[in-house]
Amino acid sequence: MDSIFRKIMIKLIGKSLVVLTLLMLTSCDPNEAQRVASFDNLVMQDEFDIEGTLDSNLWTFDLGKGPGNDGWGNNELQYYTDRTENVTVENGYLLITAKEEAFNGANYTSARIKTEGLFEQAYGRFEARIKVPYGKGYWPAFWLLGNDCGQNIWPQCGEIDIMEYLGNMPTTVFGSAHGPGYAAGDAISKKYVLENDRFDTGFHVFGMEWAPDYINYYVDDVLYQQITKQNVLEETNGEGQWVFDHPFYIILNVAIGGNLPGSPNTETVFPQTMIVDYVRVYQK
């Protein structure tokens, strides 16, 4: 998702097919083969119940076009702001709105919020209930970054993408993990396709359960991907490193354009809003 943090993910789809095939070959019955622990202890939640205000005890902002002023390393087109027209809380929902407008040299504005320095945790269940926009160019995400990216340059610090979505593929989301040896276009990733439904017409719960030896990805109650230390080694010819044993923080954003989704087209509707009902984190 992030700057430095990602280049092109097109290859992912093909890659994920391989993963999918492997999974199907290796684990005929996911319920037996996949490890699932229960995370029942609610340690963080934001139900977005404070009208008009983001809880500053939990959230802070990423602003602008990224540290390199290069669209967060992905040639994204938006300028992130903390203005209420881009990010606010209304009627119990977090609203992140992308607008088409000239602003500080960009043609779009949007917002990206994070819990860096405010809520960071290793392991547990992270989930959010989200409805996303639609149309070419929209690239909303719910994801985690390791809290040590300042010292251990990405991808060494690790990235866990719980939900990524491209507006021109309204029935599909991606879950991914990035680390040394499997980052950006080579991340370990898998897509999940809704049958007879889509992600922009209703809320879905995007969940991720993370333990010392695996990361499980859920859409609603469906477990669709498990990444283990063994996967990481298999995917990278033994080169990849498991970097998911330290605290990570949460990011929610709506990117516009860039390498992965491509630019909006004339049919893309602006403004549109990613609506988040809640964010919750559990531990064992």
Partner 1 sequence: MKNRKPTYFKDLSLIFLILGLIVSCERDLSEDSVVATFPNTGEVFTDNPINLTDEFFISFDPAQGANTEGFGIDNNVAYAGTSSIRIDVPAPNDPNGSYIGGIFKDRSGGRNLTGYDALTFWAKGSLTATVGLVGFGTDFVDDKYAVGLENIQLSTDWRKYTIPIPNASRLLQEKGMFIFSAGTQSTNGLGYTLWIDELKFETLGTIAQPLPVILDGEDLVQQSFTGSSIRISGLTQTFNIASGENVTVQAAPSYFDFVSSDTSVAAVNELGIVSVVGSGTAFITATISSVLASGSLEVTSTGALPAAPIPTLPSSNVTSIFCDEYTNATSSNFEPGFGGSTTQAAVVTANNDSVLIYSNNNFTGIIFDNTVDASALSFMHVDVYAQQAGVQVEFQIRDIGANGVINTNIFTGQPEGDDADYRFTTGNLTVNGWNSFDIPLTGGILNQKNNLGAIILAGGPNFILDNIYFYTP
Binding status of residue 257 toward partner 1 by CB under 8 A: no
Q: How far is the CB of 174 from partner 1 (least distance, A)?
A: 15
Binding status of residue 134 toward partner 1 by CB under 8 A: yes
Structural contact between residues 180 and 241, judged by C-beta atoms closer than 8 angstroms: yes
Placement of tokens 């903390």 in the chain? 82
Structural contact between residues 112 and 251, judged by C-beta atoms closer than 8 angstroms: yes
Q: How far is the CB of 269 from partner 1 (least distance, A)?
A: 8
Which lies closer to partner 1 via its Cβ, residue 55 or residue 200? 200
Binding status of residue 165 toward partner 1 by CB under 8 A: no
Which active-site residues does the annotation give? 159, 164
Residue 83's nearest CA partner among 105, 67, 100, 61 is 61
Structural contact between residues 228 and 210, judged by C-beta atoms closer than 8 angstroms: no
Q: In the chain, which residue ranges form alpha helices assigned H by DSSP?
A: 10-26, 30-33, 229-235
How far is Cα 95 from Cα 73, in angstroms, rounded to an integer? 24
Binding mask 167-206 for partner 1 (x = CB under 8 A): xxxxx-----------------------xxxx-xx-----
Q: How far is the CB of 136 from partner 1 (least distance, A)?
A: 7
Which lies closer to partner 1 via its Cβ, residue 64 or residue 271? 271
**Dihedral sign for Cα atoms in the order 59, 64, 66, 72:** positive
Which lies closer to partner 1 via its Cβ, residue 31 or residue 196? 196
Q: How far is the CB of 119 from partner 1 (least distance, A)?
A: 34
Structural contact between residues 154 and 5, judged by C-beta atoms closer than 8 angstroms: yes
Question: How far, in whole angstroms, is CA 80 from its chain's centroid?
Answer: 17
Region 4-23 residues binding partner 1, contact defined as CB under 8 A: none
Binding residues (CB under 8 A) for partner 1: these are 134-136, 167-171, 195-198, 200-201, 267, 269
